[in-house]
Structure 1
């Protein structure tokens, strides 16, 4: 999964930010492993049944202490660590190309190990969590009522998705992403540097989802139960749901373009995201759906992806990877639709009434066997309406996950924003994070020559007339150096570009920018704005 996310995100960002996005994915594994071993697993699965607090959060197995008491501890730690790292990685795509590296370390740590993912996973997957244990139920039911989330549509993907949305809102859009022309808000396309790389990541993710969902059976044969059929069903439904999501997402994209008279394209990236949204929707109950239901839920997830992505653009929320639309949109479809279309879901129950009949088999047509209860006092069989209770508990779980994750992330990202720790400086964003923050360009021009000398690194053409040398920094200089160049302010087009960037800083940063001591130039014409935006789109800084 991490490999897939890494390549998908790397292909979706500009070449000047590839190293930055890749190191975040690498550290999601390595940093995440340390902190999940230290505290994350303990908060998630450290059940203490004798403590009331165990319904909310675990408190055992810190640093693997007393792990001998937990059956198959190491295998479970490995499997659950992958889920925790996934929840954290979802966020990096939504705040890509403009995040301070230090703030990344903070939010990644909180999501993976402290008060975000470990808490919600404890609620829904531990033995004592309040979403797992039966609390509000009929006194006669034979099956405990709880939130059912087989592989994490809500607990993993909705958790990561809502964190991604909060981060994207607080950090603001990338320079040049949105503009207002004639009172009309417009979203500008900022393409990633490599669609093939993004496609490779998608294929790896598709394969990873088969293990992500299928592996949630935990064991094919555990000495008591043969889970081979459940594994096969989970894998097949994941494929069907993903395929439906992809087809419906690309179809609605074309249909809307036709309706509004816009250019019509078969978008590969929409196709990819639709497939991911469909697979996310399968996480909730891929072990309990027939293939027709999997197709339907996946298709709805693909349509939801398009709708959510469109709404975010209307509100000028810049999510480069559509992380919120894919993971939260797909997750909501899975967690709410699965109790309806599962094999013994609401759609399969035409309605049950009380019957004074002692023969269970006469009920099979009207009420599935796992929804029938027996009143021990009267020996009357009745329908328990379990599917309706299941849907209600899934809704409660979704609202709880959204509220908790949203609240914690608002405090976390809000604090980083308030102290100006969330977003990189303007000149760093324009120049690219790879050089300034990592000293390692993803595609160094020096590598086109010998690599050990200046061959192949002659002066590069830039919008500023060859002011920079391409050697080790891709031919870009930071904004401060460019503004200090003699005669720079006599260059109206380039001055307009920097004015656009400075104006953006004033709109989206808590403090006013101090890029230069010189007074800010105003944009001279709409033509300059257009040229500036074209330069942003083409990465010609």
Structure 2
């Protein structure tokens, strides 16, 4: 075996393993969201994660990959590669097209999982299936083509998004915001006087384990995006990822102690995730110190954004927009400020690169965020014409586990079928 074949084999193993790490993050999403919602809706969370994986993979295979990476049509979308057939010779990687598809499939599944948390406890399961098909087959692949395809119009302008702060997280975060607004708040979340009622999470230890799994998988998310086991930047990517996530978590611990006089566990959990989201775009291009700054800003901004949403009576049960939309915004713009010389085509503003890169990052962020919000709103409105997007009041009161799926998550749930008692709630 010559050195070229050996390198190709190592790269293939690296990409497959890191893609598997990203897929394991679905277990993290499942535990995190199940822990944040009430126990009567835990099964519904798990079922949505299975939809993300099953329908996401099949639709991305049939349609999404072609729109994202097929031969370019004016920088807007791909036109070849449906069902992984046809002309894909323009994709010149050291790994096979199958290997690359598997890695990108893990990414698209992560993107739709962001929306899952924002619609928890009230979206109809069948409507969620239809939206998953829209997201993985069209919304995400088209905007992804703009950023990550070699001939995408944002890529040609020089936009940098190494592992997806904009392409995945800002898109998914703003899609989550649109979905949360479209569905409206959960019953009883906001009182008639505008007061916010606390909906306590069912299992914070479970949510914490979910966050730890996501934290672990993120090293595959970021480091795996090198697509090469011999890339010299893997170590740097891992360090910046660790520093940003630790900084986001630490910032939330200290900030919530200052703000609420006690460290807020859900905020601390989301703080670590906010730091991870924030560093995803620039993990290969920023310094260690910049990674810490990005993590701190992302963590604090996540807390403030969560508060702001509640004041605006937007119900996001797991903080999907605050974590992914806000931190994805910060991370995308941070590249325009902190990109080191000789790491990318354009230097960041703080390193003498001028305003060009920051302007491109801002343009790309704006376009992708508007695209995610508008297409999600329009997609849910289209589904609403054929199928109710939100469950009935009784189904929501009983819980989606029993009301939609016919089975509780736990064998001894008190009063979960006492509909008359539940109906008496505001």
Q: TM-score, normalised by structure 1?
A: 0.70
Question: What CA distance in whole angstroms lies between the structure 2 residues aligned with 1:266 and 1:177?
Answer: 23
Counterpart for residue 124 of structure 1: 147
User: Alignment partner of 2:153: what SS?
Assistant: coil
Cα–Cα, structure 1 residues 256 and 113, in superposed 2: closer, same or farther, change >3 Å? same
Shift of 1:27: 1.7
Question: What CA distance in whole angstroms lies between the structure 2 residues aligned with 1:168 and 1:297?
Answer: 27
Counterpart for residue 306 of structure 1: 303
Choose 1 or 2 for highest CA Rg.
1
1:436 aligns with 2:361: no
> Structure 1, residues 446-474: CA drift from partner, whole Å, max 9, x if none?
xxxxxxxxxxxxxxxxxxxxxxxx7xxx5
Question: What CA distance in whole angstroms lies between the structure 1 residues aligned with 2:204 and 2:216?
Answer: 19
Counterpart for residue 410 of structure 1: 377
Shift of 1:500: 5.0
Counterpart for residue 169 of structure 2: 157
Q: Is the 8 A contact 2:394 2:423 kept in 1?
A: no
Counting only pairs closer than 5 Å after superposition, residues 181-200 of structure 1 correspond to structure 2 as: 181=193, 185-200=194-209
Q: After alignment, is 248-257 or 285-294 more displaced?
A: 248-257
2:109 to 62, 67, 85: 85
Q: Is the 8 A contact 1:4 1:204 kept in 2?
A: yes
Q: Tell me how many residue pairs correspond in the alignment.
A: 392
User: Alignment partner of 1:187: what SS?
Assistant: coil
User: Alignment partner of 1:442: what SS?
Assistant: coil
Cα–Cα, structure 1 residues 68 and 130, in superposed 2: closer, same or farther, change >3 Å? closer
> Structure 1, residues 338-397: CA drift from partner, whole Å, max 9, x if none?
221222321122xxxxxxxxxxxxxxxxxxxxxxxxxxxxxxxxxxx4x52111111110
2:285 to 273, 285, 288: 288
Question: What CA distance in whole angstroms lies between the structure 2 residues aligned with 1:312 and 1:304?
Answer: 12
Counterpart for residue 325 of structure 2: 328
Counterpart for residue 247 of structure 2: 244
Question: What CA distance in whole angstroms lies between the structure 2 residues aligned with 1:22 and 1:498?
Answer: 26
Q: Which runs of 5+ in 2 are unaligned?
A: 1-24, 342-347
Q: After alignment, is 430-439 or 287-296 more displaced?
A: 430-439
Shift of 1:210: 0.7
1:217 aligns with 2:212: no
Counterpart for residue 103 of structure 1: 127
> Structure 1, residues 487-524: CA drift from partner, whole Å, max 9, x if none?
xxxxxxx5xx73554xxxxxxxxxxxxxxxxxxxxxxx
Question: What CA distance in whole angstroms lies between the structure 2 residues aligned with 1:245 and 1:331?
Answer: 13
Shift of 1:265: 2.3
Counterpart for residue 356 of structure 2: 389
User: Alignment partner of 1:404: what SS?
Assistant: helix
Q: Is the 8 A contact 1:11 1:197 kept in 2?
A: yes
Question: What CA distance in whole angstroms lies between the structure 1 residues aligned with 2:351 and 2:151?
Answer: 31
Q: Is the 8 A contact 1:177 1:188 kept in 2?
A: yes
Moved over 3 A (4+): 415-420, 497-501
Shift of 1:255: 1.6
1:169 aligns with 2:181: yes
Q: Is the 8 A contact 1:47 1:126 kept in 2?
A: no
User: Alignment partner of 1:398: what SS?
Assistant: helix
User: Alignment partner of 1:269: what SS?
Assistant: helix
Question: What CA distance in whole angstroms lies between the structure 1 residues aligned with 2:400 and 2:137?
Answer: 26
Question: What CA distance in whole angstroms lies between the structure 1 residues aligned with 2:386 and 2:339?
Answer: 48
Counterpart for residue 204 of structure 1: 213
Counterpart for residue 372 of structure 1: none
User: Alignment partner of 2:155: what SS?
Assistant: coil
Question: What CA distance in whole angstroms lies between the structure 1 residues aligned with 2:373 and 2:84?
Answer: 29
Question: What CA distance in whole angstroms lies between the structure 2 residues aligned with 1:410 and 1:436?
Answer: 25
Q: Which runs of 5+ in 1 are unaligned?
A: 135-145, 222-226, 258-263, 350-384, 446-469, 483-493, 502-541
Cα–Cα, structure 1 residues 255 and 180, in superposed 2: closer, same or farther, change >3 Å? farther
Question: What CA distance in whole angstroms lies between the structure 1 residues aligned with 2:124 and 2:109?
Answer: 19
Q: Is the 8 A contact 1:47 1:59 kept in 2?
A: yes
Q: After alignment, is 309-318 or 429-438 more displaced?
A: 429-438
Counterpart for residue 21 of structure 2: none
Shift of 1:417: 4.5
Q: Is the 8 A contact 1:16 1:442 kept in 2?
A: yes
Q: TM-score, normalised by structure 2?
A: 0.88
Which has the higher relative contact order, 1 or 2, with Cα contacts under 8 A spaced 6 or more apart? Answer: 2
Shift of 1:193: 1.1
Counterpart for residue 33 of structure 2: 9
Question: What CA distance in whole angstroms lies between the structure 2 residues aligned with 1:167 and 1:265?
Answer: 31
- Structure (1 or 2) with the greater helix fraction: 2
